[in-house]
Amino acid sequence: MTAFDLNGRTALVTGANTGIGQAVAVALGAAGAHVICAGRRTCAETVGRIASAEEMVLDFADPMAARDVFDARPIDVLVNNAGIIRRDDATDFAEADWDAVMDVNLKALFFTCQAFARAVFAREGTGKIVNIASLLSFQGGIRVPSYAASKHGVAGLTKALCNEWAGRGINVNAIAPGYIETNNTEALRADPERNRAILDRIPAGRWGRAEDIAQTAVYLSAPASDYVNGAVLNVDGGWLAR
């Protein structure tokens, strides 16, 4: 067994049908985990790429949707990946867009962490939580006020939960992906000016791929990171170093 081996572990990944969540699920599976691929729609494609996996319907239209998920059996790793973005000028930004983003990106994430931790503590076990944050956990972005607020919140929660749970056997960490080629960034890549401005600032000189995030998630789910607590790891091709 290596420090990156996940054999014998069960991991649940939210938003596992596509993008970063799909890549994370596949990578955790390749590292040996049994993966529960959770999504608001089918994750069959992801499940098909993993040796030991199953799908689960989890729709954060109800931010408390995961309240009972961890009671049925031991789940060792939770990757909170599901997230949405809404774009508009701050002066025009609608309440519905504020609430939708905060509910999925922050409220659901917190209560899913809570449900996971309660189950881990009830069985006197250990666990790993990996939250997917963002560069906008540190920066404001443009025309995405609720997204920036929610992702700053994810970084804050990661540290707050670390302080409560690190001594009780749960590592809580986050990954801050840079600009990754997924549905989430389609609008940016379709705008030649924004696309060029983004590429010009990335020291690595390219957009990130979902797989770039996936291996960091394996690290934060595995014994290799047992003494890593409350970290928000940038995986951004150097964007924040600039």
Ligand X SMILES: NC(=O)c1ccc[n+]([C@@H]2O[C@H](COP(=O)([O-])OP(=O)(O)OC[C@H]3O[C@@H](n4cnc5c(N)ncnc54)[C@H](OP(=O)(O)O)[C@@H]3O)[C@@H](O)[C@H]2O)c1
Q: Does 127 bind ligand X (CB under 6 A)?
A: no
| Interatomic CA distance for residues 29 and 107, integer angstroms | 27
Interaction pattern, residues 48-87, with ligand X; x per rule: CB under 6 A:
----------xxxx-------------------xxxx---
Q: What kind and span of H or E run contains 24?
A: helix 19-30
| Beta carbon of residue 125, minimum distance to ligand X (angstroms, whole number) | 25
Contact 238, 19 (CB under 8 A): no
| Interatomic CA distance for residues 200 and 222, integer angstroms | 34
Q: 14 or 171: whose CB is closer to ligand X?
A: 14
Q: Does 122 bind ligand X (CB under 6 A)?
A: no
Within 8 A by CB and 6+ apart from 189, the residues are 181, 195, 207
Q: 165 or 239: whose CB is closer to ligand X?
A: 239
Q: 119 or 133: whose CB is closer to ligand X?
A: 133
Written as six digits, the tokens of 1 are 């067994």
| Beta carbon of residue 68, minimum distance to ligand X (angstroms, whole number) | 16
Contact 14, 71 (CB under 8 A): no
**Which residue matches tokens 């990171």?**
225
Is there a catalytic annotation at residue 219?
Answer: no
- Cα of first residue to Cα of last residue in the chain, in angstroms, is 38
**Which residue matches tokens 């940038």?**
234
Q: 17 or 225: whose CB is closer to ligand X?
A: 17
| Beta carbon of residue 234, minimum distance to ligand X (angstroms, whole number) | 10
| Beta carbon of residue 32, minimum distance to ligand X (angstroms, whole number) | 23
| Beta carbon of residue 164, minimum distance to ligand X (angstroms, whole number) | 23
- In the set 6, 11, 19, 165, which binds ligand X (CB under 6 A)? 19
If you compute the radius of gyration of the chain from its CA atoms, what whole number of angstroms results? 17
Q: How far is CA 77 from CA 34, 38, 74, 119, 130, in A?
A: 10, 13, 9, 12, 8
- In the set 3, 7, 8, 41, which binds ligand X (CB under 6 A)? 41
Q: Does 185 bind ligand X (CB under 6 A)?
A: yes
Binding site for ligand X (CB under 6 A): 14-15, 17-21, 39-41, 58-61, 81-84, 104, 132, 134, 177, 179-180, 182-185
Instruction: Supply the residues annotated as catalytic.
Output: 147
